[in-house]
Amino acid sequence: MPPTPQQGFSAPTIVIGAGPHGLAAAALLRRFGVPTVILERSDRVGASWAQRYDHLRLHTTPGASRLPGLSVPRQAGPWVSRDDYVRYLEDYVAHHGLDVRVATPVRRVERAEPGSGTQWLVHTPDGPVPTGAVVVATGRCHAPNLPPWPGRSTFTGTLLHSAHYRSPAPYRGRDVLVVGAGNSGTEIAGVLAGAGARVRIAVRTPPNILPRSSARWHTVGRLTEVLPLTWRDRTSLLTQQLAVPDLTSRGLPRPRTGLYTRNAREGINPVLDHGFVDAVRSGRVEPVAAVQAFDGPDVVLADGTRLRPDTVIAATGYRPDLNDLVGSLGVLDEAGHPLAVGAQTHPEAPRLYFAGYTNPLTGVLRQAGIEARAIARAFRRETARAPLLTLRGGDRTADTHQSGHAPS
């Protein structure tokens, strides 16, 4: 087990978060000769993955799920399980010799005093840690997002977020309403139905659904990035019509918006089918209208229908939850998302990087490697510029930092 933090330590670079993006960034920085310490709030590497539901499998193949410098073991199969991927992340730490300090939550990041010889102070329970650069990699799925439905507190059944769902066993024979038709919601609904629960799924916007038969969907995403959005949308909708049966008669109409537009506007990826389509066709999963409110034992839907489920599982996504960490620095938008990500930095926050806050169609785990390489190269360029700037009139690296031009 990696050591817990020691009081008084410092590091040229601090990475916050020991998930895929944080580990990849630390590995690439280390490859470029930058001493880096990873601070992780939980007691293990890859905790956010380890805490997800038991039957979770990656939606990308091993080749698209690997981090820089280490392949996913072949024995993990074509669709890597949750536990196999957590083991891979643990092996990644050992393979690259990464310095991970577990059980070390970071409370906030603030600017160091001018003239102190450092750029940032990273505050932990053991005190502030001075550092020249910070990579925030706590991820876009950091905190469960539970909508503030009217009457939610009056619901007499069981209400939980999908982050706290583990397996279908407790729901066998029960009436379950799954809210949200993204990848998690559709996968959970299909598994629950197969385990003997009565399942309905509340859908606000019909999802773009594609078969999970191979890695070609992510490959297509990479190959068509330069084409006009309208053309890509039309092609994606045609592909769905050819590959996925029409479920309109079952209460799930075809989407009107192409998957590329939805990703660009909302950061939402298509649903890769895990048996959900067959479950809807057979009637084992019943699509219903979106949830509008709760009223005692009832769930009120947007079309006025009232349901009385035993359990409501809200697969309603996550939020990055960065306000306490960096909200005082002026680097977040109104929704709490970073204004600059990857190798780009905010003009007022040089050497403060954010990794893992996008959801590209080309694959989130593939993006971890892309962002890690770009951050490491940007850091190396900045370090190379520092002596020249000093010769030209003092250490003005922070004042003259230019961002946003790192290669991907």
Is residue 251 within 8 A of residue 301, CB to CB? The reply is: no
> Given a cut of 80, is residue 394 above it in pLDDT?
no
At 386 the three-state DSSP class reads helix
Q: What are phi and psi of 23, to 5 degrees?
A: -65, -45
> Whole-prediction pTM value?
0.87
User: Which two three-digit tokens encode residue 368?
Assistant: 């971890």
Is residue 287 within 8 A of residue 280, CB to CB? The reply is: yes
Tell me the per-residue pLDDT of 133-157, one tens digit each, with 9 for 90 and over: 999 999 999 999 999 999 999 999 9
Number of Cβ within a 10 Å radius of residue 318: 17
User: Which two three-digit tokens encode residue 252?
Assistant: 């799930």
Residue 31 half-sphere exposure, CB side, CA atoms within 13 Å?
16
Please name which of 154, 149, 104, 148 lies closest in space to residue 129, comparing C-alpha atoms: 104
Write the single-letter amino acid at 365: L
Is residue 244 within 8 A of residue 209, CB to CB? The reply is: yes
pLDDT, mean of residues 289-316: 98
> Given a cut of 90, is residue 278 above it in pLDDT?
yes
User: Which two three-digit tokens encode residue 190?
Assistant: 């299909």
Q: Which contacts of 255-261 are long-range, i.e. CB under 8 A and separated by 24 or more positions?
A: 255/205, 255/206, 255/207, 255/208, 256/206, 257/205, 257/208, 257/233, 258/208, 258/229, 258/232, 258/233, 258/234, 259/208, 259/210, 259/233, 259/361, 260/229, 260/232, 260/233, 260/236, 260/361, 261/229, 261/233
Of the pLDDT bands very low, low, confident and very high (cuts 50, 70, 90), residue 400 is very low
Instruction: Give dist(CA 298, CA 310) in Å, integer.
Output: 10
Of the pLDDT bands very low, low, confident and very high (cuts 50, 70, 90), residue 396 is very low
> Given a cut of 90, is residue 74 above it in pLDDT?
yes
Scanning 106-256, the segments in alpha helix (DSSP H) are 183-194, 216-223, 229-243
Distances, alpha carbon 246 to alpha carbons 201, 208, 277, 399, in Å: 17, 12, 9, 57
Instruction: Give dist(CA 359, CA 391) in Å, integer.
Output: 42
Of the pLDDT bands very low, low, confident and very high (cuts 50, 70, 90), residue 60 is confident
pLDDT at 404: 36
**Could you give the angle at which helices 20-31 and 82-96 cross, rounded to 10 degrees?**
20
Task: Find residue 129's DSSP bridge partners.
Answer: 122
Q: What percent of the chain has pLDDT over 70?
A: 88
Q: Which domains does the chain have, with CATH numbers?
A: 11-142+320-391 (3.50.50.60), 147-316 (3.50.50.60)
DSSP 8-state assignment for residue 248: G
Of the pLDDT bands very low, low, confident and very high (cuts 50, 70, 90), residue 254 is very high
Residue given tokens 């010889």 in the structure block: 117
Tell me the per-residue pLDDT of 96-135, one tens digit each, with 9 for 90 and over: 999 999 999 999 999 999 888 889 999 999 999 999 999 9
Is residue 179 within 8 A of residue 146, CB to CB? The reply is: no
